[in-house]
Structure 1
Amino acid sequence: MATSASPASTAAVQPKATSGAKNPKGSDNTLLSTVMGNLRQYGIVGALIIIVVAFQILTGGVLLKPNSFVSLIQQNAYVIILAIGMVMVIIATHIDLSVGSLVAFIGGVCALLMEHYNVNWIVAIVVSIILGLLIGIWNGFWVAYVRIPGFITTLAGMLIFRGLATVIVGESVPITSRDFRGIASNYIPNFLGFGPGGMSILTIVVGALVFALFVFLQFRNRAKVAASGLQPEPMSLTWIKIVVAGVVIAFVTYLLSLSGNDENGGIPIMLVIVGVLVVIYNFILTRTVFGRHVYAVGGNRKAARLSGIDDRKVDFFLYVHMGFLSAVAAVCMLSRLASATAQAGMEFEMDAIAACFIGGTAVTGGIGTIPGAVVGAFVMGVINQGLSIMGVDTAIVKTIKGLVLLGAVAVDLMSKRKKG
């Protein structure tokens, strides 16, 4: 799904580094200056930690109970999946308002295949993914080649596919396949058994490997920056990252290792799906020609064209990716709800867009990261689940989420004006 380009054009459109590490030697590279230069990046992580601690206190410790934490992951998995694609679309100065309706429509098709036509659940998933790709091609064609703005194209798609979902699903289509429902409810088989206190040994091993990989990548990146003649970020900042990541990974590992029951617990399948997609798409966005072209088009479309980039191909494949991710989100949601309804996926597009903006994606395009969107999705998810545990009315929850989104965008715009 990537576009091609000449070496010359590729070199001309490298995305701006989001880390304060890559400063020319001899420039101001103190801990404070580096943090202040990346306040957007570090601020949202700090905000998430504060929000989690606050709701842990307000809910009397319920929010971060092992099974509540797994529920938080499962309830927000499809929003995170949609946010992965949405952040790329927004970086390129587009939007996709149709994803919620796509989730309902594709989920309805998947349910009908399994329940009305007795199609094997794996085949039904494959057909759903193909359908998502075809719809992505449909949206991409109108945006990229007919030049209808993405807002209008996907607004039409939102209406079209919500209507089709209502036609094909009716009231609801219950899912009877236990294997399919297990995608959302089951865990990775704990073949290493359980340790003291019923902790999943496999989860502990995976947590240790994730932390080791994080440390390795931190020092490898420092070595790469130094080898390129640039000045790495302050060593103190690297150690702060390692310590904070270590604490977070250890705590998450602890919660996951105690989740589930005596026979089935540890790492949820949904977490694996989300994790794999985050890694793959973060690589696509930051390490491939296509990803560099996305940033280039979003930063300055005219300059990108002059450098030889076919912005139409970039736009087209962005919506193809969005269609694919919408299909994955539809499968995950259908598995969790165990029933297809025409109302499924309502406001998913709003949650995905909000996650991107809260996570630091620029309203004007050209800036944004997938990890930031994931953090933004968790901010919204923690607020939603925390207020739900506290028994706050749904209308108030929506109001608070809207204020959080407005505040995040306002802070972003004001910080840009100060820099400008």
Structure 2
Amino acid sequence: MNYPLWDVPVIGGGILIAIISIIHVFISHFAVGAGVFNVLTERMARRARDAALLAFVRRHSFVLLLVSMVVGALTGVGIWFAIGLVHPTGTSALIHVFVWAWAIEWIIFVVEVVTAFVYVYGWDRLPPQIHQRIGWMYAVSSWLSLFVINGILTFMLTPGEWLATRDVWDAFFNPTFWPSLVLRTLVALALAGLVTLLLSTLQTDDVLRERFVTYTAQWVLYPLIGMIPAGFWYIAQLPQDVARWFEGSSAPLTMFFMLSALFTGLILAVLLFAALRQPRHFTWPVALLIMFFGLLATASTEMVREAIRRPFLIRDYLYSNAVRVDEVESINRTGILAHARWVPVRQVTPETVRQAGQAVFDVQCRICHTIHGFNGIAALTATWREETMYAFLGHMHEVKPFMPPFLGTDAERRALAAWIVSLQQ
């Protein structure tokens, strides 16, 4: 309410953030896992004096640098740009709660960038022991970056004792911190293996291709198996009302959850019955396909993680429409238009009903809904009468628990209902 509206045509701001975030999550987790893969594989290759394996991991390290420092960096900046414009209130809240965590993460990121470049360009310039130490520095710093971001993301769903204490340690080490960290670490290792598996299939030598496919398929297999108990551990730590969503109370959430499990299962099946059984005949199109399955599993899982937080951006503190829980009573008493800074009208009059209705929509609904695009309010209510719309607005948080309650006066509620129904014309 305290910031101007940034309208993203057709798709809406939420979908824009989702698109950028899914790409970034895939790449950033790959970068974390790839750091561990590179340094362990280099260590093994040097001990065995395996020149072919050493050459392979060298090429892989260049792919890591190219993907993470170009696409990963661009999407990382893109996330900050998008969330800062679409949800400035939520972004501000996270910065203020975790100001020192963000500062530490940015220092870690600088270390990550420097060590990645030194590692890639130090293959022929550094002694083997020093080179491996640089590799470990990259691997540890990239995982520490995951450690910090994991604390902030899990806080949004399970702020825990922070709601009462306002202590940053309670916010960071919240109820889902540890299971989420274990799960994300396993995901990072698996995604690194999927990308490396694709690179393995590009080997022209049949013997080397068979060796590398077997090695990288095993690298993916064990984290995938570990995700099963880690996933159950994570779900067990969720609030009881959130855990019920996995039992079918939300059809879209259940669908995305099942898609995540399906794509993960397909990856596991292809590894067991193709990559490990017939590694010499495992081709790059199949490897590319299961890497795409990994992207789809990542996307589905992230959609679930975002959905189970609804109707909040920060559970029990900030609604998804940027209204704090402690503001609700005041807004219902004096009206949301009186609280909003960037609206053309401050109260509802017979002359300003339509204008006030759209202003209420912009303040309360625009973050999740477009007018005529994705999740468009016009199409969703195309057959509704005004009284139906008015009644629904008063109980929408009960009918659809993932939506915040309507906030404002009765006149504002009627104005919003009238404006939405007018879109049918």
What TM-score do the two structures reach when normalised by structure 1?
Answer: 0.35
What TM-score do the two structures reach when normalised by structure 2?
Answer: 0.35
For the pair shown, which has the larger CA radius of gyration, 1 or 2?
Answer: 2
Q: Which has the higher contact order (CA 8 A, sep 6+)?
A: 1
